Each structure stands twice: as structure tokens, then as C-alpha cells.
Amino acid sequence: MKLVFAGTPEVAVPALDALIASGRHEVAAVVTRPDAPAGRGRRLVASPVAERAEEAGIEVLKPLKPRDPEFLERLTEIGPDCCPVVAYGALLPRAALDIPAHGWVNLHFSLLPAWRGAAPVQHSIMAGDEITGASTFLIEEGLDSGPVYGTVTEVIRPTDTSGDLLTRLAFAGAGLLAATMDGIEDGTLKALPQPAEGITVAPKITVEDAQIDWAAPALRVDRVVRGCTPAPGAWTTFRGERLKLIQVTPVPERTDLAPGRMAVGKNSVHVGTGSYAVELLWVQAQGKKPMRAADWARGVRIAENETLGG
């Protein structure tokens, strides 16, 4: 088939690579978000998908919005049979959805109908799921509600951050998306409607969502830290300033600390929660680089009975 691939961030690159390498289909063009300011100089930088496509000599389309007439005209001229999508980041209008004969097929990082929305991996970790995966489905105008072509599953490991899990799903999902294109092309794959039961939604995680509630159980604190790492980053406050929490670990044997109360040992920093304590392993103070929590504690000279989170 002739394909036009749509995607933007680094997590979409493995799928683009898989489609280029398959040799079975032609990636005629790539659709991605416009260049965005990045770094201290705020200079415009192309998306990871745009950079990879340019390396491969593939035409790159960067519409401000997918409903732009110039974009729709160029897409019609290319005449794709199918448009595979991974984390493109913009809403596709009906005028665009109708152009390819086999529609737009999205790789979504959950086992649909669970975790429809922008942040499925973060929500699956924060909810304490043991299994997640990726799904390919035909895009409709609803939110991730279209019929599903295929899935792959992935175990969520006890120490997984959303970054860890998303990296594994990006590569497993790349193979799934390539196989889905093959099945659509040879007619062996049929999309099946999603079940009406088990629907959960995964909106974008806000900075407010990432604030630690020390009255919550230790497992919840651990899941929020892992789910919000690397972005937007879990945080609390210390002496009125924000402190980023990069890694913690539950300490079930320690139950003597009130929520938020800190206890500093020679090489450890324990904090009370609504159940038992957690140990802070890596933190990042405002304006500082990430550091081991024990080193941070020595540097700020924590007093007895000091707390996190006000």
C-alpha cells in the first residue's frame, strides 16, 4: 500500500522505522506537527518524526491544522491507501479521514477500551494495572473509540516509570502496526468493535495531578511518582519551594512516621504516608540537577520533625 504516516514525538519513530524497513509498503509522506521552540534559545526545532523522515528522504508535511485546505489538497494528490498514526497530536477532521481508502489507523498505547485519551501509559501505572499493551484501531470522530485490528500485551514491572513502559510499548507497537498494515493490504484482518464495558479515560496529566498527597497510601505515592516520570514530574514542597521526586520505594516495615514527616538516616531519607513510609531515592530541588536524596538531605540540613508538602 501507499502510506502517509502521521506522528510527532520520539515514541512514534520506531513505528515509522518499522514501516520503512518492511519493504512491503511505500511511505510516501509523513505528517507531523509544525516545528516548535525548544532549549534555552527557544529556536524552532523539527519533531523527531520529521527529522527521521528527512533522513530517509521522505516528504514531510507540517500543517498548522489538519483541516488546512493546502494540506488536504496535497494529501489528496498523494492518494494514500492508508494513513498509520502514532501520537500525531492533532484532531483529524472528517475531510482528512475520508481521503485514504482504508482510513487512518492509530497505534494507541493501551488495551482498548481501557485508557482512551492522551496519557494511557501514565494512567495505567498510576491506577496500579499489572498488564497493559498497545492496540491498532480505525480512527473515527470519537475519542479512541474505533474498531480494533489487533493488540499486543505488556507486563507492567514493579519499578516501571511511564518512560520505561512507553519505550517498550513503542517497539512492540511498531511491529503490531506493521503487521496491521500487512493484514489490511492482504484482506486477512478485520477491525472488530470495542466492547461496551471496561471503558476508562486517560486525560493529559496536569502539574496539579503530579503533586504528591502524603496522606495517600505508600503504594499510591510510588505509583504517582512512577507514572509522572519523566513528565510532567511528580513533586512536593519543602520549605516553601518545589521539590521534584524522581524515584521512591515503599518501606512497609516502617510505620512510625506521620504523613509527610521525614526521618533522615546516614544514607537514607524516609517519609511518612497514609500507610507506611517511602524512601526517597532521587530528587531534584529547584534550580538544581537530580541528586541522590541522601546527598540532598545532607546539603539542606533537615531539622528534626520537618515535613514535606506543608
Cell of 107: 497505534
Amino acid letter at 233? G
107 is in an annotated binding site: no
112 is in an annotated binding site: yes
Half-sphere exposure at residue 207, Cβ-oriented, CA atoms within 13 angstroms: 4
Alpha helices (H) along the chain: 13-22, 48-55, 69-78, 94-97, 120-126, 162-186, 218-227, 293-300
145 is in an annotated binding site: no
Distance CA 310, CA 308 (A): 6
113 is in an annotated binding site: yes
Q: Is the peptide bond before 232 cis (omega within 30 degrees of 0)?
A: yes
- Which distant-in-sequence residues (6+ apart) come within 8 Å of 180 by Cβ? 84, 105, 136, 149, 150, 189
Amino acid letter at 260? G
- Which distant-in-sequence residues (6+ apart) come within 8 Å of 289 by Cβ? none
Cα dihedral across residues 27, 32, 34, 36: positive or negative: negative
**Known binding residues:** 110-113
Residues contributing to the annotated binding site for (6S)-5,6,7,8-tetrahydrofolate: 110-113
